Structure 1
Amino acid sequence: MNINTLKVYEDEIQSLEKEIQLLTEEYECHQHGTAKKAMNTIKRKFQEDPKCYYSSPDLKTQLALLESDFSFLMNFTDIQFKNYSRKLLEKSEIKTVYNYRLSGICQSVPFQLEFRLTEENQNNKNDYVVVTDLNIIIESEESSNLSKLVSRVEENGNLLLFFKTLSRFSEWSAYRKCTLAHFKSKYPNIIALPEGLSGDCMVLKNIELSGFELMIVWKIHVDQDGKVVPVLDLLSKIPMPVLEDKKFASDMPHWFRSLLHVLGIEASIEAVIKSVCRSK
Protein backbone atom coordinates (compact mmCIF):
# COMPACT_ATOMS: atom_id res chain seq x y z
CA MET A 1 0.00 0.00 0.00
CA ASN A 2 1.60 3.29 -1.03
CA ILE A 3 1.74 6.46 1.06
CA ASN A 4 -0.89 8.32 -1.00
CA THR A 5 -3.43 5.52 -0.62
CA LEU A 6 -2.75 5.34 3.11
CA LYS A 7 -3.24 9.09 3.42
CA VAL A 8 -6.62 8.84 1.67
CA TYR A 9 -7.76 6.12 4.07
CA GLU A 10 -6.60 8.11 7.10
CA ASP A 11 -8.49 11.19 5.93
CA GLU A 12 -11.62 9.13 5.35
CA ILE A 13 -11.37 7.57 8.82
CA GLN A 14 -11.03 11.00 10.41
CA SER A 15 -14.02 12.22 8.48
CA LEU A 16 -16.09 9.24 9.61
CA GLU A 17 -15.04 9.74 13.23
CA LYS A 18 -16.23 13.35 13.10
CA GLU A 19 -19.54 12.25 11.59
CA ILE A 20 -20.00 9.71 14.38
CA GLN A 21 -19.32 12.41 16.96
CA LEU A 22 -21.81 14.69 15.23
CA LEU A 23 -24.52 12.03 15.20
CA THR A 24 -23.84 11.23 18.86
CA GLU A 25 -24.31 14.86 19.82
CA GLU A 26 -27.46 15.00 17.70
CA TYR A 27 -28.82 11.95 19.52
CA GLU A 28 -28.09 13.51 22.92
CA CYS A 29 -29.99 16.60 21.86
CA HIS A 30 -32.96 14.39 21.04
CA GLN A 31 -32.70 12.85 24.48
CA HIS A 32 -32.79 16.13 26.38
CA GLY A 33 -34.45 18.66 24.13
CA THR A 34 -36.58 19.05 21.08
CA ALA A 35 -36.18 17.60 17.63
CA LYS A 36 -35.88 21.08 16.24
CA LYS A 37 -33.07 21.90 18.67
CA ALA A 38 -31.17 18.86 17.46
CA MET A 39 -31.48 19.97 13.86
CA ASN A 40 -30.20 23.42 14.77
CA THR A 41 -27.23 21.87 16.57
CA ILE A 42 -26.16 19.92 13.49
CA LYS A 43 -26.68 22.92 11.28
CA ARG A 44 -24.55 25.11 13.56
CA LYS A 45 -21.66 22.63 13.45
CA PHE A 46 -21.78 22.61 9.66
CA GLN A 47 -21.57 26.40 9.67
CA GLU A 48 -18.70 26.49 12.18
CA ASP A 49 -16.44 24.05 10.30
CA PRO A 50 -17.91 23.17 6.91
CA LYS A 51 -14.59 21.85 5.53
CA CYS A 52 -14.80 18.83 7.82
CA TYR A 53 -17.94 17.69 6.07
CA TYR A 54 -17.09 18.17 2.44
CA SER A 55 -16.52 14.43 2.18
CA SER A 56 -20.15 13.80 3.24
CA PRO A 57 -22.43 15.80 0.95
CA ASP A 58 -25.16 13.20 1.38
CA LEU A 59 -25.42 13.96 5.09
CA LYS A 60 -25.92 17.67 4.44
CA THR A 61 -28.45 16.92 1.74
CA GLN A 62 -30.39 14.60 4.03
CA LEU A 63 -30.39 17.24 6.77
CA ALA A 64 -31.75 19.88 4.40
CA LEU A 65 -34.43 17.51 3.17
CA LEU A 66 -35.34 16.54 6.71
CA GLU A 67 -35.72 20.17 7.75
CA SER A 68 -37.78 20.90 4.65
CA ASP A 69 -40.07 17.90 5.23
CA PHE A 70 -40.42 18.72 8.92
CA SER A 71 -41.39 22.33 8.17
CA PHE A 72 -43.81 21.25 5.42
CA LEU A 73 -45.56 18.73 7.67
CA MET A 74 -46.00 21.27 10.48
CA ASN A 75 -47.40 23.88 8.10
CA PHE A 76 -49.59 21.38 6.26
CA THR A 77 -51.09 19.75 9.37
CA ASP A 78 -50.85 22.73 11.76
CA ILE A 79 -49.25 20.34 14.25
CA GLN A 80 -46.38 21.99 16.10
CA PHE A 81 -44.14 19.67 18.11
CA LYS A 82 -42.66 21.36 21.19
CA ASN A 83 -40.84 18.66 23.13
CA TYR A 84 -39.49 15.28 22.15
CA SER A 85 -37.40 12.60 23.87
CA ARG A 86 -36.39 9.03 23.10
CA LYS A 87 -34.94 6.49 25.51
CA LEU A 88 -33.44 3.17 24.49
CA LEU A 89 -34.96 0.38 26.61
CA GLU A 90 -33.72 -2.76 24.87
CA LYS A 91 -31.49 -3.67 21.94
CA SER A 92 -30.72 -7.11 20.52
CA GLU A 93 -30.32 -8.87 17.18
CA ILE A 94 -34.04 -9.57 17.19
CA LYS A 95 -35.53 -6.26 18.25
CA THR A 96 -34.93 -2.73 19.50
CA VAL A 97 -37.30 -1.04 21.94
CA TYR A 98 -37.53 2.71 22.55
CA ASN A 99 -39.70 4.78 24.85
CA TYR A 100 -40.93 8.01 23.27
CA ARG A 101 -42.38 11.12 24.81
CA LEU A 102 -43.58 14.10 22.83
CA SER A 103 -45.87 17.05 23.20
CA GLY A 104 -47.20 19.73 20.92
CA ILE A 105 -50.21 21.70 19.82
CA CYS A 106 -52.55 21.42 16.86
CA GLN A 107 -54.26 24.76 16.21
CA SER A 108 -55.51 25.45 19.78
CA VAL A 109 -55.55 21.84 21.01
CA PRO A 110 -52.49 20.83 23.13
CA PHE A 111 -51.56 17.16 23.37
CA GLN A 112 -49.04 14.83 25.01
CA LEU A 113 -48.08 11.31 23.95
CA GLU A 114 -45.99 8.57 25.51
CA PHE A 115 -45.49 5.16 23.92
CA ARG A 116 -43.10 2.31 23.27
CA LEU A 117 -41.85 1.63 19.77
CA THR A 118 -40.56 -1.86 19.05
CA GLU A 119 -38.53 -2.41 15.89
CA GLU A 120 -38.44 -6.12 15.07
CA ASN A 121 -36.31 -7.96 12.53
CA GLN A 122 -37.91 -11.09 11.16
CA ASN A 123 -35.12 -13.38 9.88
CA ASN A 124 -33.39 -10.63 7.91
CA LYS A 125 -36.61 -9.75 6.12
CA ASN A 126 -38.14 -6.30 6.11
CA ASP A 127 -38.20 -4.71 9.55
CA TYR A 128 -41.50 -3.58 10.99
CA VAL A 129 -42.45 -1.50 14.02
CA VAL A 130 -45.13 -1.91 16.66
CA VAL A 131 -46.52 0.83 18.92
CA THR A 132 -47.53 -0.30 22.42
CA ASP A 133 -48.28 1.21 25.85
CA LEU A 134 -49.68 4.31 24.19
CA ASN A 135 -50.97 7.03 26.49
CA ILE A 136 -52.56 10.20 25.08
CA ILE A 137 -53.42 13.34 27.04
CA ILE A 138 -55.36 16.18 25.42
CA GLU A 139 -55.40 19.36 27.49
CA SER A 140 -58.45 21.06 26.06
CA GLU A 141 -62.03 21.88 26.96
CA GLU A 142 -62.97 20.01 23.79
CA SER A 143 -61.23 16.78 24.82
CA SER A 144 -64.57 15.05 25.48
CA ASN A 145 -65.28 15.17 21.74
CA LEU A 146 -62.12 13.17 21.12
CA SER A 147 -62.54 10.64 23.92
CA LYS A 148 -63.79 7.79 21.70
CA LEU A 149 -60.97 8.31 19.23
CA VAL A 150 -58.33 8.46 21.98
CA SER A 151 -59.58 5.18 23.46
CA ARG A 152 -59.50 3.50 20.05
CA VAL A 153 -55.99 4.77 19.22
CA GLU A 154 -54.59 3.83 22.62
CA GLU A 155 -55.93 0.34 22.04
CA ASN A 156 -54.57 -0.24 18.52
CA GLY A 157 -51.57 2.13 18.50
CA ASN A 158 -52.62 3.84 15.26
CA LEU A 159 -50.74 7.13 15.57
CA LEU A 160 -51.40 8.07 11.96
CA LEU A 161 -55.15 7.94 12.60
CA PHE A 162 -54.74 10.08 15.71
CA PHE A 163 -52.77 12.87 14.05
CA LYS A 164 -54.94 12.84 10.94
CA THR A 165 -58.13 13.15 12.98
CA LEU A 166 -56.65 15.67 15.42
CA SER A 167 -55.69 17.89 12.49
CA ARG A 168 -59.17 17.70 10.98
CA PHE A 169 -60.89 18.24 14.34
CA SER A 170 -58.70 21.25 15.09
CA GLU A 171 -59.55 22.77 11.70
CA TRP A 172 -63.26 22.53 12.45
CA SER A 173 -62.77 23.91 15.99
CA ALA A 174 -60.84 26.89 14.66
CA TYR A 175 -63.44 27.49 11.94
CA ARG A 176 -66.28 27.35 14.49
CA LYS A 177 -64.52 29.79 16.80
CA CYS A 178 -63.85 32.19 13.91
CA THR A 179 -67.47 31.98 12.74
CA LEU A 180 -68.91 32.63 16.21
CA ALA A 181 -66.61 35.61 16.66
CA HIS A 182 -67.64 37.01 13.26
CA PHE A 183 -71.37 36.91 13.98
CA LYS A 184 -70.96 38.17 17.55
CA SER A 185 -69.06 41.18 16.22
CA LYS A 186 -71.54 41.79 13.40
CA TYR A 187 -74.73 41.42 15.53
CA PRO A 188 -73.67 42.26 19.12
CA ASN A 189 -77.21 43.16 20.25
CA ILE A 190 -78.77 39.96 18.98
CA ILE A 191 -76.19 37.26 19.61
CA ALA A 192 -74.93 35.94 22.93
CA LEU A 193 -72.27 33.28 23.44
CA PRO A 194 -73.01 31.80 26.89
CA GLU A 195 -70.00 29.46 26.74
CA GLY A 196 -67.64 31.88 25.02
CA LEU A 197 -65.91 31.42 21.67
CA SER A 198 -64.79 27.90 22.62
CA GLY A 199 -68.37 26.82 23.30
CA ASP A 200 -70.71 25.06 20.93
CA CYS A 201 -73.81 27.26 21.10
CA MET A 202 -75.01 30.65 19.92
CA VAL A 203 -78.11 32.31 21.39
CA LEU A 204 -80.22 34.70 19.30
CA LYS A 205 -82.63 37.07 21.02
CA ASN A 206 -85.08 39.72 19.88
CA ILE A 207 -85.29 42.27 22.68
CA GLU A 208 -88.63 43.54 21.37
CA LEU A 209 -90.21 40.10 21.73
CA SER A 210 -90.10 39.10 25.36
CA GLY A 211 -89.15 35.46 25.86
CA PHE A 212 -88.24 34.91 22.21
CA GLU A 213 -85.00 32.96 21.93
CA LEU A 214 -83.27 30.75 19.39
CA MET A 215 -80.20 28.65 20.04
CA ILE A 216 -77.90 27.30 17.35
CA VAL A 217 -76.01 24.28 18.65
CA TRP A 218 -72.83 23.41 16.77
CA LYS A 219 -71.17 20.16 17.79
CA ILE A 220 -68.10 18.57 16.23
CA HIS A 221 -68.65 14.83 16.32
CA VAL A 222 -65.70 12.43 16.18
CA ASP A 223 -66.35 8.71 16.03
CA GLN A 224 -63.96 5.95 17.05
CA ASP A 225 -62.89 5.48 13.44
CA GLY A 226 -61.66 9.06 13.22
CA LYS A 227 -64.45 10.49 11.10
CA VAL A 228 -65.03 14.18 11.91
CA VAL A 229 -68.48 15.59 11.19
CA PRO A 230 -69.96 19.00 12.15
CA VAL A 231 -73.48 18.62 13.55
CA LEU A 232 -75.70 21.72 13.74
CA ASP A 233 -79.23 22.16 14.98
CA LEU A 234 -81.56 24.97 15.99
CA LEU A 235 -83.59 24.97 19.20
CA SER A 236 -86.36 27.45 19.81
CA LYS A 237 -87.94 29.07 22.85
CA ILE A 238 -90.96 31.00 21.59
CA PRO A 239 -93.84 32.35 23.76
CA MET A 240 -97.37 31.38 22.66
CA PRO A 241 -98.43 34.92 21.60
CA VAL A 242 -95.44 35.11 19.27
CA LEU A 243 -96.05 31.60 17.99
CA GLU A 244 -99.68 32.35 17.18
CA ASP A 245 -98.79 35.63 15.51
CA LYS A 246 -95.81 34.28 13.53
CA LYS A 247 -96.53 30.66 12.67
CA PHE A 248 -93.30 30.32 10.70
CA ALA A 249 -91.33 30.49 13.94
CA SER A 250 -92.30 26.95 14.89
CA ASP A 251 -90.95 25.70 11.58
CA MET A 252 -87.55 27.38 11.94
CA PRO A 253 -85.62 24.32 13.20
CA HIS A 254 -86.70 22.28 10.17
CA TRP A 255 -86.10 25.26 7.88
CA PHE A 256 -82.58 25.73 9.30
CA ARG A 257 -81.64 22.07 8.79
CA SER A 258 -82.82 22.28 5.18
CA LEU A 259 -80.80 25.44 4.58
CA LEU A 260 -77.62 23.75 5.81
CA HIS A 261 -77.77 21.27 2.93
CA VAL A 262 -78.30 24.03 0.39
CA LEU A 263 -76.39 27.10 1.60
CA GLY A 264 -73.78 25.76 4.02
CA ILE A 265 -73.10 26.78 7.59
CA GLU A 266 -72.34 30.50 7.47
CA ALA A 267 -75.07 31.43 4.99
CA SER A 268 -77.65 29.41 6.96
CA ILE A 269 -76.75 31.11 10.24
CA GLU A 270 -76.89 34.50 8.50
CA ALA A 271 -80.39 33.68 7.21
CA VAL A 272 -81.62 32.79 10.69
CA ILE A 273 -80.17 35.98 12.19
CA LYS A 274 -81.77 38.14 9.53
CA SER A 275 -85.14 36.48 10.15
CA VAL A 276 -84.80 37.41 13.81
CA CYS A 277 -83.94 40.99 12.84
CA ARG A 278 -87.00 41.26 10.58
CA SER A 279 -89.27 40.05 13.34
CA LYS A 280 -88.63 43.20 15.36
Structure 2
Amino acid sequence: MQRNITERFEDAISSLKQEILELKQQYKENRKEIAFLSRANIKKALESFNEKSSNDESTNMKNIQAELMHCEQELEVIKALTGIVLTRCLKKKETRTEKVIFSHKLMGQCRFLSFAVAFETLSLQPERCEVIHVNIQMDCEENSDLIKLVSRTHESLNLLGFFRTLSTFTEWCEYRQSTFSQFKDKYPLAVGLPLGSSADYMVLMNPDLPGCEWILVWKITINEEGAVTPVLDLLPKIPVQAAAFDRTGILKSAAVRFKTLLRALGLQATIENIIQSFCMKRGSN
Protein backbone atom coordinates (compact mmCIF):
# COMPACT_ATOMS: atom_id res chain seq x y z
CA MET A 1 0.00 0.00 0.00
CA GLN A 2 2.82 2.35 1.00
CA ARG A 3 4.59 1.49 -2.21
CA ASN A 4 1.62 2.35 -4.36
CA ILE A 5 1.36 5.78 -2.74
CA THR A 6 5.08 6.37 -3.31
CA GLU A 7 4.79 5.44 -6.97
CA ARG A 8 1.87 7.80 -7.45
CA PHE A 9 3.88 10.66 -5.90
CA GLU A 10 6.84 9.92 -8.11
CA ASP A 11 4.63 9.90 -11.19
CA ALA A 12 3.08 13.23 -10.19
CA ILE A 13 6.54 14.73 -9.57
CA SER A 14 7.75 13.48 -12.94
CA SER A 15 4.71 14.95 -14.63
CA LEU A 16 5.26 18.30 -12.92
CA LYS A 17 8.91 18.36 -14.03
CA GLN A 18 7.88 17.71 -17.60
CA GLU A 19 5.30 20.48 -17.42
CA ILE A 20 7.92 22.85 -15.97
CA LEU A 21 10.28 22.04 -18.85
CA GLU A 22 7.53 22.76 -21.36
CA LEU A 23 6.67 26.04 -19.63
CA LYS A 24 10.33 27.07 -19.68
CA GLN A 25 10.54 26.29 -23.38
CA GLN A 26 7.37 28.28 -24.07
CA TYR A 27 8.74 31.15 -21.96
CA LYS A 28 11.92 31.22 -24.09
CA GLU A 29 9.87 31.29 -27.28
CA ASN A 30 7.69 34.08 -25.88
CA ARG A 31 10.80 36.08 -25.00
CA LYS A 32 11.98 35.71 -28.58
CA GLU A 33 8.65 37.01 -29.86
CA ILE A 34 8.71 39.86 -27.36
CA ALA A 35 12.24 40.70 -28.48
CA PHE A 36 11.10 40.64 -32.10
CA LEU A 37 8.25 42.99 -31.22
CA SER A 38 10.51 45.30 -29.28
CA ARG A 39 10.30 49.06 -29.75
CA ALA A 40 13.43 49.13 -31.91
CA ASN A 41 12.11 46.46 -34.24
CA ILE A 42 8.67 48.12 -34.41
CA LYS A 43 10.35 51.43 -35.24
CA LYS A 44 12.45 49.75 -37.90
CA ALA A 45 9.35 48.11 -39.39
CA LEU A 46 7.46 51.41 -39.38
CA GLU A 47 10.39 53.19 -41.04
CA SER A 48 10.50 50.53 -43.71
CA PHE A 49 6.74 50.84 -44.27
CA ASN A 50 6.91 54.62 -44.35
CA GLU A 51 9.79 54.50 -46.81
CA LYS A 52 7.84 52.14 -49.07
CA SER A 53 4.71 54.31 -48.77
CA SER A 54 6.76 57.41 -49.53
CA ASN A 55 8.25 55.76 -52.60
CA ASP A 56 4.80 54.64 -53.76
CA GLU A 57 3.40 58.12 -53.17
CA SER A 58 6.30 59.71 -55.03
CA THR A 59 5.79 57.33 -57.95
CA ASN A 60 2.06 58.02 -58.02
CA MET A 61 2.69 61.78 -57.92
CA LYS A 62 5.12 61.53 -60.82
CA ASN A 63 2.58 59.53 -62.81
CA ILE A 64 -0.15 62.08 -62.07
CA GLN A 65 2.13 64.98 -63.03
CA ALA A 66 3.07 63.25 -66.29
CA GLU A 67 -0.59 62.61 -67.07
CA LEU A 68 -1.51 66.22 -66.31
CA MET A 69 1.30 67.48 -68.54
CA HIS A 70 0.09 65.22 -71.35
CA CYS A 71 -3.48 66.53 -70.94
CA GLU A 72 -2.27 70.13 -70.98
CA GLN A 73 -0.31 69.49 -74.15
CA GLU A 74 -3.39 67.97 -75.79
CA LEU A 75 -5.49 70.97 -74.74
CA GLU A 76 -2.90 73.32 -76.27
CA VAL A 77 -3.05 71.38 -79.53
CA ILE A 78 -6.86 71.56 -79.52
CA LYS A 79 -6.70 75.31 -78.83
CA ALA A 80 -4.24 75.87 -81.67
CA LEU A 81 -6.28 73.81 -84.15
CA THR A 82 -9.80 74.90 -83.21
CA GLY A 83 -9.54 78.01 -81.04
CA ILE A 84 -11.64 76.24 -78.39
CA VAL A 85 -10.68 76.68 -74.73
CA LEU A 86 -12.70 74.93 -72.00
CA THR A 87 -12.84 76.76 -68.68
CA ARG A 88 -15.15 74.36 -66.85
CA CYS A 89 -16.20 70.73 -67.31
CA LEU A 90 -18.78 68.95 -65.18
CA LYS A 91 -20.00 65.34 -65.36
CA LYS A 92 -22.68 63.62 -63.28
CA LYS A 93 -23.91 60.04 -63.38
CA GLU A 94 -27.60 59.24 -63.02
CA THR A 95 -29.72 56.10 -63.26
CA ARG A 96 -33.18 56.36 -64.79
CA THR A 97 -35.38 53.34 -65.35
CA GLU A 98 -32.35 51.02 -65.32
CA LYS A 99 -30.50 53.23 -67.85
CA VAL A 100 -27.15 54.86 -67.07
CA ILE A 101 -27.23 58.51 -68.13
CA PHE A 102 -24.43 61.05 -67.79
CA SER A 103 -25.13 64.77 -67.57
CA HIS A 104 -22.36 67.00 -68.94
CA LYS A 105 -21.75 70.74 -68.89
CA LEU A 106 -18.98 72.46 -70.83
CA MET A 107 -18.16 76.14 -70.50
CA GLY A 108 -15.52 77.99 -72.46
CA GLN A 109 -14.69 80.11 -75.47
CA CYS A 110 -14.20 79.55 -79.16
CA ARG A 111 -11.86 82.43 -79.90
CA PHE A 112 -13.99 85.52 -79.12
CA LEU A 113 -17.33 83.69 -78.59
CA SER A 114 -18.27 82.37 -75.14
CA PHE A 115 -20.49 79.31 -74.86
CA ALA A 116 -22.12 76.99 -72.34
CA VAL A 117 -23.15 73.56 -73.59
CA ALA A 118 -25.22 71.16 -71.47
CA PHE A 119 -25.90 67.70 -72.85
CA GLU A 120 -26.82 64.19 -71.76
CA THR A 121 -25.43 60.89 -72.97
CA LEU A 122 -26.93 57.42 -72.67
CA SER A 123 -24.41 54.73 -71.80
CA LEU A 124 -24.46 51.82 -74.27
CA GLN A 125 -22.56 48.55 -74.42
CA PRO A 126 -19.74 48.01 -74.97
CA GLU A 127 -18.12 51.35 -74.01
CA ARG A 128 -20.34 53.42 -76.28
CA CYS A 129 -22.59 56.36 -75.60
CA GLU A 130 -25.30 58.26 -77.43
CA VAL A 131 -26.14 61.97 -77.10
CA ILE A 132 -29.82 62.23 -76.16
CA HIS A 133 -30.24 65.91 -75.24
CA VAL A 134 -28.40 69.19 -76.01
CA ASN A 135 -28.86 72.72 -74.74
CA ILE A 136 -26.52 75.49 -75.99
CA GLN A 137 -26.31 78.99 -74.61
CA MET A 138 -24.31 81.53 -76.59
CA ASP A 139 -24.34 85.28 -77.13
CA CYS A 140 -25.34 85.35 -80.80
CA GLU A 141 -28.50 87.46 -80.93
CA GLU A 142 -27.07 89.68 -83.67
CA ASN A 143 -26.17 86.83 -86.02
CA SER A 144 -29.09 84.92 -87.53
CA ASP A 145 -26.84 82.19 -88.96
CA LEU A 146 -25.46 81.36 -85.50
CA ILE A 147 -28.96 81.35 -84.03
CA LYS A 148 -30.03 78.84 -86.69
CA LEU A 149 -26.91 76.73 -86.06
CA VAL A 150 -27.76 76.48 -82.35
CA SER A 151 -31.37 75.61 -83.13
CA ARG A 152 -30.35 72.89 -85.62
CA THR A 153 -27.91 71.41 -83.09
CA HIS A 154 -30.69 71.17 -80.50
CA GLU A 155 -32.63 69.08 -82.99
CA SER A 156 -29.85 67.04 -84.60
CA LEU A 157 -27.79 66.52 -81.38
CA ASN A 158 -24.67 66.80 -83.58
CA LEU A 159 -22.26 68.40 -81.13
CA LEU A 160 -19.17 67.52 -83.16
CA GLY A 161 -20.62 69.31 -86.18
CA PHE A 162 -21.56 72.30 -84.02
CA PHE A 163 -18.04 72.79 -82.68
CA ARG A 164 -16.50 72.22 -86.11
CA THR A 165 -18.72 74.91 -87.65
CA LEU A 166 -18.21 77.29 -84.73
CA SER A 167 -14.42 76.92 -85.02
CA THR A 168 -14.43 77.67 -88.75
CA PHE A 169 -16.85 80.59 -88.37
CA THR A 170 -14.85 82.32 -85.63
CA GLU A 171 -11.61 81.74 -87.54
CA TRP A 172 -13.04 83.57 -90.58
CA CYS A 173 -14.32 86.38 -88.32
CA GLU A 174 -10.89 86.88 -86.81
CA TYR A 175 -9.28 86.84 -90.26
CA ARG A 176 -11.75 89.49 -91.46
CA GLN A 177 -11.07 91.65 -88.43
CA SER A 178 -7.30 91.42 -88.83
CA THR A 179 -7.58 92.24 -92.56
CA PHE A 180 -9.72 95.33 -91.92
CA SER A 181 -7.35 96.51 -89.18
CA GLN A 182 -4.34 95.94 -91.41
CA PHE A 183 -5.69 98.16 -94.21
CA LYS A 184 -6.94 100.79 -91.76
CA ASP A 185 -3.45 101.04 -90.26
CA LYS A 186 -1.80 101.16 -93.69
CA TYR A 187 -4.24 103.63 -95.29
CA PRO A 188 -5.83 105.61 -92.43
CA LEU A 189 -7.22 108.34 -94.72
CA ALA A 190 -8.56 105.99 -97.37
CA VAL A 191 -10.12 103.30 -95.17
CA GLY A 192 -12.99 103.87 -92.75
CA LEU A 193 -14.39 101.48 -90.14
CA PRO A 194 -17.55 103.20 -88.84
CA LEU A 195 -18.53 100.23 -86.62
CA GLY A 196 -15.00 99.03 -85.85
CA SER A 197 -12.87 96.26 -87.29
CA SER A 198 -15.22 93.53 -86.03
CA ALA A 199 -18.08 94.75 -88.27
CA ASP A 200 -18.84 93.12 -91.62
CA TYR A 201 -17.92 96.06 -93.86
CA MET A 202 -15.38 98.81 -94.41
CA VAL A 203 -15.54 102.04 -96.37
CA LEU A 204 -13.02 103.04 -99.08
CA MET A 205 -12.74 106.80 -99.71
CA ASN A 206 -10.85 109.20 -101.97
CA PRO A 207 -9.96 112.57 -100.44
CA ASP A 208 -10.19 114.19 -103.89
CA LEU A 209 -13.76 112.88 -104.38
CA PRO A 210 -15.80 113.84 -101.31
CA GLY A 211 -19.03 111.92 -101.06
CA CYS A 212 -17.84 109.15 -103.38
CA GLU A 213 -17.18 105.89 -101.53
CA TRP A 214 -16.98 102.16 -102.07
CA ILE A 215 -18.47 99.86 -99.42
CA LEU A 216 -16.67 96.55 -99.15
CA VAL A 217 -19.14 94.13 -97.56
CA TRP A 218 -17.75 90.90 -96.14
CA LYS A 219 -20.41 88.50 -94.83
CA ILE A 220 -19.62 85.13 -93.29
CA THR A 221 -22.50 82.72 -93.81
CA ILE A 222 -23.42 79.27 -92.46
CA ASN A 223 -25.66 77.00 -94.52
CA GLU A 224 -27.99 74.26 -93.25
CA GLU A 225 -25.23 71.64 -93.50
CA GLY A 226 -22.94 73.74 -91.31
CA ALA A 227 -20.58 74.82 -94.09
CA VAL A 228 -19.04 78.27 -93.56
CA THR A 229 -18.63 80.52 -96.61
CA PRO A 230 -17.24 84.08 -96.89
CA VAL A 231 -19.31 86.28 -99.22
CA LEU A 232 -17.77 89.57 -100.44
CA ASP A 233 -19.35 92.40 -102.41
CA LEU A 234 -18.21 95.85 -103.51
CA LEU A 235 -21.03 98.39 -103.50
CA PRO A 236 -20.74 101.98 -104.76
CA LYS A 237 -21.95 104.90 -102.67
CA ILE A 238 -21.96 107.74 -105.20
CA PRO A 239 -24.10 110.92 -105.26
CA VAL A 240 -26.87 110.84 -107.85
CA GLN A 241 -25.32 113.75 -109.72
CA ALA A 242 -21.99 111.96 -110.04
CA ALA A 243 -23.63 108.68 -111.03
CA ALA A 244 -25.26 110.43 -114.00
CA PHE A 245 -21.83 110.93 -115.54
CA ASP A 246 -21.06 107.17 -115.46
CA ARG A 247 -21.62 106.68 -119.19
CA THR A 248 -19.28 103.68 -119.41
CA GLY A 249 -21.18 101.67 -116.79
CA ILE A 250 -18.29 101.32 -114.38
CA LEU A 251 -20.57 101.57 -111.35
CA LYS A 252 -22.97 98.92 -112.59
CA SER A 253 -20.20 96.47 -113.44
CA ALA A 254 -18.13 97.14 -110.31
CA ALA A 255 -19.49 94.15 -108.38
CA VAL A 256 -18.81 91.71 -111.23
CA ARG A 257 -15.32 93.09 -111.82
CA PHE A 258 -14.61 92.89 -108.09
CA LYS A 259 -15.45 89.18 -108.03
CA THR A 260 -13.28 88.63 -111.10
CA LEU A 261 -10.36 90.30 -109.34
CA LEU A 262 -10.95 88.15 -106.26
CA ARG A 263 -10.63 84.98 -108.30
CA ALA A 264 -7.57 86.26 -110.15
CA LEU A 265 -5.61 88.06 -107.40
CA GLY A 266 -7.00 86.88 -104.08
CA LEU A 267 -8.53 88.94 -101.28
CA GLN A 268 -5.59 90.94 -99.99
CA ALA A 269 -4.27 91.88 -103.43
CA THR A 270 -7.77 92.82 -104.67
CA ILE A 271 -8.38 95.23 -101.79
CA GLU A 272 -4.92 96.69 -102.26
CA ASN A 273 -5.60 97.16 -105.97
CA ILE A 274 -8.90 98.98 -105.34
CA ILE A 275 -7.34 101.30 -102.76
CA GLN A 276 -4.39 102.12 -105.03
CA SER A 277 -6.60 102.81 -108.07
CA PHE A 278 -9.49 104.66 -106.41
CA CYS A 279 -8.52 106.01 -103.00
CA MET A 280 -5.07 107.50 -103.49
CA LYS A 281 -4.65 111.22 -104.12
CA ARG A 282 -3.35 112.23 -107.45
CA GLY A 283 0.43 112.18 -107.54
CA SER A 284 0.66 109.89 -104.48
CA ASN A 285 2.47 106.54 -104.65
TM-score, with length taken from structure 2: 0.71
Q: Is the 8 A contact 1:148 1:223 kept in 2?
A: no
The residue type paired with residue 136 of structure 1 is: I
Q: Partners of 1:161 and 1:220 in 2: how far apart?
A: 17
In 2: Cα distance, 1:271 partner to 1:158 partner: 42
Instruction: Give the equivalent residue in structure 1 for 2:90.
Output: 85
Q: How far, CA to CA, are the matches of 2:87 and 2:237 in structure 1?
A: 46
**SS, match of residue 102 in structure 1:** strand
Gaps of 5+ in 2: 1-48
Aligned to 1:102: 106
Percent of residue pairs bearing the same amino acid type: 36
Once the two structures are superposed, residues 189-239 of structure 1 have per-residue CA deviations (whole angstroms, 9 ceiling, x without a partner) of 121112211110111122322321110100001112110110000111223
Instruction: Label 1:69 to 1:272 Cα distance change in 2 as closer, same or farther (>3 A).
Output: same
Aligned counterpart, 1:183: 183
SS in 2 for 1:267: helix
* Structure 2 SS opposite 1:274: helix
Computing the radius of gyration from Cα coordinates, the structure with the larger value is: 2
Cα distance in 1 between the residues matched to 2:171 and 2:192: 23
Q: Is the 8 A contact 2:190 2:206 kept in 1?
A: yes
CA apart distance, 1:258: 0.8
Q: Which residue of 1 aligns with 2:135?
A: 135
Report matched runs for 1:173-252 at 5 Å. 173-240=173-240, 242-243=242-243, 244=245, 247=248, 248-252=250-254
Q: 1:256 corresponds to which residue?
A: 258
| Contact 2:206/2:280, CA 8 A, preserved across alignment | no
Residue equivalent to 1:70: 75
Residue identity in the other structure for 2:120? R
C-alpha distance in structure 2 between counterparts of 1:174 and 1:201, whole Å: 14
How many residues end up aligned between the 2 structures? 229
Stretch deviating more after TM superposition (138-147 or 265-274)? 138-147
Quote the Cα distance in structure 2 between the aligned partners of 1:83 and 1:55. 25
Distance 1:190 1:61, change over 3 A: closer
CA distance 1:61–1:254, shift in 2 (3 Å) = same
Contact 1:102/1:112, CA 8 A, preserved across alignment: yes
Structure 2 vs 1, CA of residues 163 and 83 (structure 1 numbering), >3 Å: closer, same or farther?
A: same
User: Who is 2:275 aligned against?
Assistant: 273
Amino acid at match of 2:229: V
Corresponding residue for residue 172 of structure 1: 172
CA drift at 1:62: 5.4
CA distance in 2, matches of 1:269, 1:212: 17
Matched residues in 2 for 1:71 and 1:216: separation?
Answer: 35
Q: 2-side partners of 1:236 and 1:55: how far apart?
A: 68
Q: 2:107·2:116 contact (CA, 8 Å) conserved in 1?
A: yes
Greater mean deviation of Cα atoms: 256-265 or 55-64: 55-64
* Change beyond 3 A, Cα 1:143–1:103: farther
Q: Is the contact between residue 216 and residue 235 of structure 1 (CA under 8 Å) also seen in structure 2?
A: yes
Structure 1 match to 2:5: none
Q: Please name the residue that 2:119 is paired with.
A: 115
Deviates more, 1:216-225 or 1:149-158: 149-158
Q: 1:143, 1:105 → 2: CA distance?
A: 17
Q: Structure 1 253/55 Cα, relative in aligned 2: closer, same or farther at 3 Å?
A: closer
